Structures are given as C-alpha cells and as structure tokens.
Chain A
Amino acid sequence: MTTSAASAQQAAVRERPSTGLWRDAWGRLLKNRLAILGLFLVITLIFLGVFGPLLAPYPYSQQDLKAVLAGGHGPLPPGSPGHILGTDQLGRDLLSRLLDGARISVSVAFVVQVVIILIGVPIGALAGWFGGRTDNFLMRFTDIIYAFPDLLFIILLSVAFRETVFGQALDGLLLVFVAIGITSWVTVARLVRGQMLALKETEFVEAARAIGVSDRKIVTRHLLPNGMGPIIVAITLGIPAAILAEATLAYIGIGVQPPRASWGSLIAEGQKFIRSEPHLVTFPAIAIALALIGFTFLGDGLRDALDPKLKGKQ
C-alpha cells in the first residue's frame, strides 16, 4: 500500500466530530421517521392555514343554493361538479370550509401558545429565580388555576364575555384563544420554574455572578437558552390539546361564530346527515386527526432529539 493511500486510510480513522447541541438534535430528529411525518403534516397544515383562503375555490360562506336544489335538497356528495369534496345542505363548498377550519386551527395552535408563553414563562422564571416567598405565592396561585376544571372554565369565560367587543373580535376566536391560554399555562410555568431552580445552582451561574454579570443577563443569556429544550417540547405537545379544546368548544357551539367553519362546528352541523352524507363528518374528523397526529409526532420527535441523556450514546 502506498504511503499516500495509507495516510488517506489512516485519516479515515478520524477523531470523533464534535457538534453543538442543536445540530446534534436536528440530526437525531431527521432520523426519526415519525417525526418527519409529523413535521410534514405540520408544515402542510401551516401552509394551508396561511394560504388556504387564497387557494379555496369559493369563499367559505358562499352558498350555492341552485346546485343544492338541483341535486335534491340535501348536501351534495363529493365529486359533484365544482365541489370536489361536496357541500353542506346550504350549498357551501366543503373544501373551502375545511380550509377555513385549517386557518382557525393554525391560529389556535400558535396564538394559544403565545398566550401561554407570555403568562407562563415570566411567572415560572420569577418563581424559580427568586424562590422563597415569591415562589410560594406564585405556586399557590398556579394551584388555584390548576384546580379549575379547564374546559368548564373556558366555557364560562367564553360565554361570559361573548357579547363584549373583545368577545366579538376575530369572529369570537380571540376570546377562545385567550380562554384556552389562561387555563393552560400552568404546565409551562412549572417547567420554567423547574429549569430555573436546577440551573440556578450550577457552577456557570456562579461563575457569571463572580464576574459581575447582572441577574437579568444571567437569566436571559445563560439560563433560558439552556433550559429551552423541555419547554419547546411542552409547547409543541400542548398544541394538540389546544386544537382539541377549540374543536370541542366549537362542537357545542361555543367560540367561533357561524358562518366560520371550525372543524368542530363542521362536525356539529354535519352529524345530522351522518347516515346519508357522511362526508360532512368524516372529512373534518380526518382533518382534526391529521393535525393532532402531526403535532404529537413532531413533539415526540423533538423530545427524543433534545433528550440530553441520549447525547453521545452510540
């Protein structure tokens, strides 16, 4: 073997490549097939949610009564001319309404999480950082919120403020988002608090303090980035719960106002026709299922990818 070939081969006996935490995690995530599926579903949902109304063949509230009457007074089945997925009994195109539902679900997913972050992170951070009486007080406060049966509380809030300006905003959606967010921030707050407690005692915080870095800087520059992992996972896994809550509320008629088409309200409207025109229920149900599956798989994948215990294991 020539020396150059030998050196090349020797170079192949390379040292272990070192990567950062996020690169490692991203690599692990990409190897997880279910997570890729989840990511794909999530991206599709977001795309449809954002661009849906532009892609929809009809406005979601437009009624095509002529076609309905021509077809025999009931909802039109899938495959009808001009309506790929059929219509409801008022002639409104199901595909277009599903896309509106996608928009609603995407909004739920993200706005609720923003509310959760805005409330939960500061409370958790404060409780964890200051400890002592602040911690005690804040944790007692979370106990009370946590004790509220959440769905019931959301309904109460939604109905209570339904007639107000706030309640009418975004066709009733803003109220729902905020209500869901108010009942769901406790988990994130506890997580942030836990991370803060754990990291507060570590040596690099001592070192930063010794150099004279201010408390606020320590929290924002050092602690939060390191503790982000479980929080990201919790937020991702909290999205299915929010979507589910909104769908359930819509089903019983709370939250989004007609004629907007949350998937939950589509199911409520369509269940009368379940035996003759099941497409009115099955398509929204499938949509909900795909959204829930997508975020759950993605959340699982993120959790596995960011798990520090797996780092460096063969």
Chain B
Amino acid sequence: MPDPIMIGTALAATALVAAAALLLCRLLWRGAGSERASPAWALSLGPAIFAGCWMLDVRPHWPASEALDRFLIFLLPTIVIIEVLASLRRFPAWLAWLLRICCAAGAARILLHNTVYLSDLAGPGSSEWTRAQSLQILAGLAAGATVVWVALVLLTRHAPNRSIPIALALSSGGAGVTVMLSGYASGGQLGLVLAAALAGATVASFLLHGSADATSSIGVAVMTLFALLLVGRFFGELTTTNALLLFFAGLLCWLPVLLPYVKRMGPILRGTLQVLLVAVPVAIAVLQAQQKFLEDFSAGSDEPSVEDYRGYDQ
C-alpha cells in the first residue's frame, strides 16, 4: 500500500473528477431529451477511475499483457460506451441488453487471457484447467456478472435511489481492502478508486435535480468490481468465499424493495436499510481477509506489515 497521504490525495482527486464530470455532463445534456436515461454517471465514473488509477501509479501498459492493463484499456471504455449507447432513446433497448450481456460474458475470458489457467505457458499440457473446466468456470463467471449487472439495472429502474451507488461504493471499498489484504496491493487500489468515484458522483448528484437516475453507473461499477475481484481471486490470494460475498452483496439492495412491510417505508429509510444490508457481507469479507493476512504474514507477532514495507520510501 502506498503512502496514506498519496492514496488519500488520489482518492480525493478521483471523487472530484467524478463530481465535476457528472455536473458537466448534466449541464451539457440538460433538456436535450435525446436520452432515455442519463449517461452522465457512466461518463463521470469512467474518466474518474482512469484518473485515480493513474495517480496511484496503476497505469495500463501496452501491450496489455496483464489483466489490469486489459481492464483499463479494453473493458472499461467498452462498458462506458455501452452505457452511453444504452441511455440514448433511439438506441434499441434489446441491443443495449445484448451488448451488456456480451460484455459481462466476455469479461472473464479477456481478463484471464494468456494465463496459466487457460494456456500452456509453462510447457505442453501445463494449463491448470482442462478445456471442460475452463468452459464451466468461464460460464459461471459470465453468469454471475450478468445476473448482478441485470439485477441492479432493473432495481435502479424499478426504485431509483442514490443508495444503490452508495452500496456499490461500500462493496467496492471493502473489495479493495480485501484484495489488498489478500496479497495484491496495487490491484486492491482499483476498488478504492471505484469507491471514491461513486462517492464523488453521488455527492454531486444531490446538487442537480433529476440526477438520481444512476442506471448508467451500474455497468461501470459492477464490472469494475467484477474485474477487481477476479484479479484478486485468480492472481492474488483472495478466497472464493470473500469474492462471492463482495460481488453478490449488492443484490441485497433488492430485499427492502421486495419485503412487504419494508417496501412501504420512505425512500430514505429504505435506502439506509439497503446500504446497511450490503455492509454486513462486506464487513465479514474484510474481517476474514484481515485474519488470514495476520496468520500468513506475521503469525500474530508485531512484525511490520506489508503496508509498512510498501509505504517505506527513503
């Protein structure tokens, strides 16, 4: 983990970029009437995530030989473009859904490209998964990404509320910390950056009337979280349990909308409940990762942590 001042500055800058971009987009699009949903959220989150990663030195390299490079160069811009297209009134809704599903289905394959899981990198027959296993795992990952993306877009349309991006910010921040504690420090920073971008855009949305429609933020947030957890699980030491807890936590936002008694609550109470529900699995994942980190790293002694080492600069 880098210097806390540096990371704090980068996250503050990320939030500011997201907020400024959202305000700018809303001003430019106001009254245009050419869109069915606001693309402002997607257009603010994309550049903010890129800027935050850049400031934290998580920069894409070309050729994109590593998973995070491929996410920042290919996937993130693709998701932003899909969400902008999906927000346009003239763009067929079925095509927007098809693009979302294709993107969700292909993301894992892109991120795992040319790794020991899928390719014989250490000699003939050395890939860790057989062809059948690869198909099953990639299909499972594709299904998971699609379900969460679709479910949260539907929820945002059904009951628009800023609590959904706030809940996603919470799970992204938790995922960032968990991935860091799971042995992949720079990868985990992506989660913190996403959390900061979502927080910045959410705060800015309060300043503008009609900015609660965060539909276009869902794709960016869900797929960035998906990429973060995938790299943490398959390139770091993130456990499958923690990855599942963090990724599916957002689905708990549906509960207050579905439960008969709770759904009659006011939007603020319901939104607060949504965020609190998401906080539970996120807290469990972070605590589990912290416990494992302490066991693996210092065996309970008072030795310096990995943050101490990485934060040290003469």
Q: Are A and B bound to each other? A: no
Chain B interface (Cβ within 8 Å of chain A)?
A: none
Chain A interface (Cβ within 8 Å of chain B)?
A: none
